[in-house]
Structure 1
Amino acid sequence: MRGEVVRYDAIKGYAFVAVDGLDDDVFLHVNDIDFDKALMAVGTVVDVTHEMGDRGPRALGAELVSSPVADAVQAALGSRPDDGPVVGTAGPRAHDGFADVLSAAELRAELTERLLAAAGDLTGRQVLAVRAAVEQIARNHGWLDA
């Protein structure tokens, strides 16, 4: 059954999912998801299998359908250099046909600002997880200064 996360506690590791056709929200523990918990947030849509427990519906598993965190990352990474200056940067760079090589600090600053502008409701932990993943990709491709 498809549902939307209506409450999420990242510290305690659980969420409640509103599912059409059920009166009670489904309890979902992060150990029962098959995707990176950094993508979990209020508004995340999941396909959930559940059972009735002593305290109400309890998820047996959940698959990611869409995530506001993933959407924000895509929006931030999909931004073009001519989208205007980002807070904390010198502004858009002239394009000379070559890729820019940034320092890790420049990448983190620009990415943080773009993520917050695209989805200001991301948690600090989610921003840090996304930044670390993107920084690792950039390092693997040689896009960062050594």
Structure 2
Amino acid sequence: MRGNVVRYDAVKGYAFVASDELDEDVFLHVNDLDFDKALMAVDAEVEFDHELGDRGPRAVRASLVHSPVADAVQAALGAGGGPAPIPLRGADGAPSAAEHPHDGFADVLSRAELRTELTERLLASVGDLTGRQVLAVRTTVEQLARSHGWLDA
């Protein structure tokens, strides 16, 4: 069965999923996810089995079909289909390195520069990400950038 997350509480570790096949929302606990809970968000599409519990339908063995968090990661990494790049400015109001013409060399960013620019882009492209989701995305992108030598040592 498939459905979309209509409510998610990351602190308490549960969600409710609406499915066209059932009359009521299905309870889903993060212990029943077959994917990283950092990808869970409102509007995520999940595929799940369900059973009838004491309080109504309960999802079991839920897998991820689509996630707005994964979309935000793709957009932040510039992998097509995401929103257009957002022109950013430094603290002094000057254009960021992203607005400079490409000279054949890659910019090497500090960790702070990467975090600031990435956070701004995530919030602009998917404004309803939770703080925990932004941190998870930033950590993943930071690890990728470090592995490619895109960050200062």
TM-score (norm 1): 0.92
- Describe the shift of the 1:47–1:87 C-alpha distance in structure 2 as closer, same or farther (beyond 3 A): farther
Residue aligning to 1:83? 85
Residue in structure 2 matching 1:128, options 118, 135, 140: 135
Structure 2 residue runs of 5 or longer lacking an equivalent are none
Q: What's the counterpart of residue 112 of structure 1?
A: 119
Which residue matches 2:102? 95
2: CA distance between counterparts of 1:141 and 1:37? 26
Deviations 1:29-63 (A, max 9, x none): 00110111111111000001111111111111111
Q: What is the match of residue 67 of structure 1?
A: 67
Amino acid aligned to 1:98: F
Note the C-alpha offset of 1:94.
Answer: 2.2
Name the CA distance, whole Å, in 1 between partners of 2:36 and 2:143: 16
**Which string of whole-angstrom CA distances, capped at 9 and with x for unpartnered residues, describes residues 55-87 of structure 1?**
11111111101011111221222179x935225
**How many percent of aligned residue pairs carry the same amino acid?**
74
Q: Is the 8 A contact 1:88 1:109 kept in 2?
A: no
What runs of 5+ residues in structure 1 fail to find an aligned partner?
Answer: none
Counterpart amino acid of 1:140?
A: S
Task: Give the TM-score of the pair, scaled to structure 2.
Answer: 0.88
Displacement, 1:88? 4.2
